[in-house]
Structure 1
Amino acid sequence: MATILYARVSTTDQNIAHQKTQAENAGFTIDDVVADHGISGIGTKLKDRTEGKRLFDKLRSGDTLVVRWVDRLGRNYQDVTDTIRHFMRQGVIIRTVINNMTFDGATKDPMQEAVRDALIAFMAATAQAQAEATKEAQRAGIEAAKGDVSKYRGKKPSYNREAFTKVQDMNGTGAGTSQIAKATGLTRQTVLRIVGDPQGCEAALLRWGM
């Protein structure tokens, strides 16, 4: 039985290695890493991605699939829920690094199944909603600027992509604001802004090509 990490980054400047390190720091012993680089989780289904296809072929009953969060599998509600249910039927256990969630098909209790499936649906819907909110923020900013690039971009973020991701990761594991600020070198105010409005903060990064 193997423990396989699936990692995905949508831009070339994001770091796959960070997702592996985070999983190991959370106590996972990773036997293999399957990763897609520069792939959007919105328009490309997991089974249609180069390494996603390999993941479907590689996983066997009794294996554990580890992801940072369900949004690494995708940001399309139907695709994510279909994928997780497919793997559960196959006997694969899915675990997330953030919040340490576990999904498997072992339970036969109707109430436990209902709770599990509702949670999967909620997480998948959240992943899609976050993606849509980011795209909407970009569209709104472009429309408001009407071609004025400096106005469209707004103020350059005081954080980079790595710090933004680390804030989200640490917040997901229950770290406090001061602890996150110390680890990232950001101010408490910036940390609170990222935690309180992750979609808006990610949209700011995208506007600046970060």
Structure 2
Amino acid sequence: MTLEKQPETDIARPTGGAKLGYCRVSTGLQNTDLQLDALTAAGCWRVFTDHASGAKEDRPELQKLFAYLRPGDTLVVWRLDRLGRSLLHLIKLVNELESRGVQLESVNDRIETSTPGGKLIFHIFAAIAEFERNLIRERTAAGLTAARERGRIGGRPRAVDAAKGNYIRYLYGQGMTKKRIAEEIGVSTKTITRYFNTLEENDFDPLDDADDPAVLLPPR
């Protein structure tokens, strides 16, 4: 989520680093009071609030927050799942914050990247995420190999079969772009787009089971 920095207009902005909060609720019907109270108690000078599902890429207030952050600031969330769409997405955001000299604090999880313990936790998270991705890639490849060995009878082979579809939805749930997914699967970007269009036509949310390990096993 790399953005160009916006012109600063708030003359009352704290010097030496500010605490900026991010609050997210899934729908407009949910109440933000719990998160806002916690962020205020944590000393946040300003809070940005989105009303959107965690899976949605379009979170305008998060975009504004990232454009507003300066080196020395701290991004504060009530819980880590309020920030990232997935573990991989969260790690990506943390790495970007670190590269910009911005710390992350999670009130409920009691994690601060400014401490050695907080940094260690995210190193462990990154290792687990990479392990999970490699394991799923191996399972998917094994399923595709088994399917080819069994052979297919009649009809044109589909560019995206059940095993590939499961893997595509998983990668999408981890925050990958369609172009990156196409490179990972070995198909064209148009093929990935057609696959998602088919899901949409059938009223199927690609993120409904994207994090369920069961859908990633080779089809039997």
TM-score by length of 1: 0.49
Higher helix residue share = 1
TM-score by length of 2: 0.47
